C-alpha cells in the first residue's frame, strides 16, 4: 500500500474516533466515504499482470496398426519321415508366406498413422 492509502486509513481512524466522542453521525459517514475512496485509489494503481505466451510443439508418436492377417501365425509343417519331401516343401511355402508378411509390414511401418 502506498502513502496515499495509509493517509486515508489514518484519516478514517481519526474521523471514527471523532464520531464516537462527539456522537455526530456525519463524521462517521464522512469516514466511511473516505475509506471507500481510499479502497478505490489503492486498488486502481496496480499494473495489470501480463504473461508472455509461447507456442510449444508437442511430439506425439502414433503407431500404425498392423492388420491381423499379417500377424496370424503360419501353421507348422509336420509329417512322418517317409513324407520328408512334402514336409520340406510345406516348410518352404511357410517361410515364403512369412517373408511376404514381413515385406508388407515393412511397407506399412513408415506410413503416417491416422489420428
26-52 pLDDT, tens digit per residue, is 766 676 777 777 666 655 556 677 888
- Asked whether residue 96 carries a pLDDT value surpassing 90, the answer given is yes
Please check whether residue 27 is in contact with residue 19, taking contact to mean a CB–CB distance below 8 angstroms.
yes
Q: In degrees, to the nearest 5, what angle opens at C-alpha 65 toward C-alphas 63 and 68?
A: 150
Inter-CA distances, 52 with 49, 55, 63, Å? 10, 10, 35
Please check whether residue 30 is in contact with residue 15, taking contact to mean a CB–CB distance below 8 angstroms.
yes
- Global pTM exceeds 0.85: no
55-94 pLDDT, tens digit per residue, is 999 888 777 788 888 888 888 888 888 999 999 999 999 9
Amino acid at each position: 500500500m502506498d502513502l496515499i492509502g495509509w493517509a486515508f486509513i489514518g484519516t478514517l481512524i481519526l474521523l471514527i474516533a471523532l464520531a464516537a466522542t462527539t456522537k455526530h453521525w456525519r463524521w462517521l459517514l464522512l469516514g466511511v466515504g473516505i475509506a471507500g475512496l481510499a479502497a478505490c485509489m489503492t486498488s486502481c494503481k496496480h499494473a495489470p499482470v501480463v504473461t508472455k505466451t509461447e507456442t510449444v510443439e508437442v511430439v506425439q508418436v502414433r503407431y500404425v496398426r498392423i492388420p491381423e492377417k499379417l500377424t496370424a501365425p503360419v501353421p507348422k509343417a509336420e509329417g512322418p519321415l517317409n513324407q520328408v519331401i512334402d514336409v520340406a516343401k510345406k516348410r518352404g511355402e511357410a517361410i515364403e508366406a512369412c517373408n511376404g508378411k514381413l515385406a508388407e509390414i515393412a511397407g506399412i511401418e513408415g506410413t503416417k498413422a491416422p489420428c
